[in-house]
Amino acid sequence: MPHKKKTISTTVFFNVYFFFRFLEPIFFGDYPREMHELLASNLPKFTSEEKSLLQKNKADFIGVNHYTTIYVKDCISSPCDLNTYEAYEGNALVLATGERDGVAIGKPTAFDGYYVVPEGMEQIVKYVNQRYTNTPVYVTENGYSQYSNNTMDELMNDGERVNYLQGYLTFLSSAIRKGANVRGYFVWSIIDNFEWTFGFTVRFGLYHVDYETQKRTPKMSAKWYRDFLMGSRPTDQVQTLRADS
């Protein structure tokens, strides 16, 4: 199997095992070509009836949750420390990491392993559209995390979140202008909430939530996003926007 792996890029290999092994049967009634090439007879087979049923009942759209971009390293034909949590991805024997030669791929966020790499938004949307024949895409989650123990001023005047959203939306717009069939975009999240992995220790919300009183207060990012949607604020004015304005 290792010699076959070399015919497939490590990035594609990672995406196939982490994402496309689920999408491909939904849209084409079978596992990805790359999985057939690698696993051959070890890959479970769909019956003709199952394939027909899947092809007749395709999904109407693809939802993409996108927060960050990472590097991946082939661990089949090159050495990796497989004891790190980063090496588990999809049981595909690849190392997924945010650093290369000690340099981070982007500015780190409060959510461990998530970095600010806005150009990744354009790349993933375009690739999904190309692979799935221009199927409508909705960006179902995209957002920036803060530590909950930041000062109240830092939480409310969340300029880093504004910059994050501005950057990612800029590259999403670029993908659309180049033909990507994107139908919608949803920020994660409207309000601070209980995160599956980190609980209340990080905040993604456009609105601050006081977890004791449940009071909701719009942050700088909420006001920026409102104005962005209304088309009333040029993006180059973002640094002048304050949460108390």
pTM comes to: 0.88
Query: Over 70: is that where the pLDDT of 227 sits?
Result: yes
Give me the domain span that covers residue 132: 61-70+116-240
CB atoms within 10 A of CB 230: 8
Whether 7 is covered by a domain: the verdict is no
In a domain, residue 226? The reply is: yes
Specify if 132 maps to a domain: yes
Give 193-226 as a DSSP string.
Answer: --BTTTBTSEE--SEEE-TTT--EEE-HHHHHHH
At 210, which CATH number?
3.20.20.80
Q: Distance between the two ends of the chain, CA-based, in angstroms? A: 60
Domain membership of residue 202 (yes or no) is: yes
Q: Which residues are catalytic?
A: 141
Q: Are strands 137-141 and 62-65 parallel, antiparallel or unpaired?
A: parallel
Is 8 part of any domain? no
- What digits encode the pLDDT tens for the residues 95-148? 888 998 899 999 999 998 899 999 999 999 999 999 999 999 999 999 999 999
Could you tell me if residue 19 is inside a domain? no
Question: 45-89 pLDDT, tens per residue?
Answer: 999 999 999 988 889 999 999 999 999 888 777 777 766 655 445
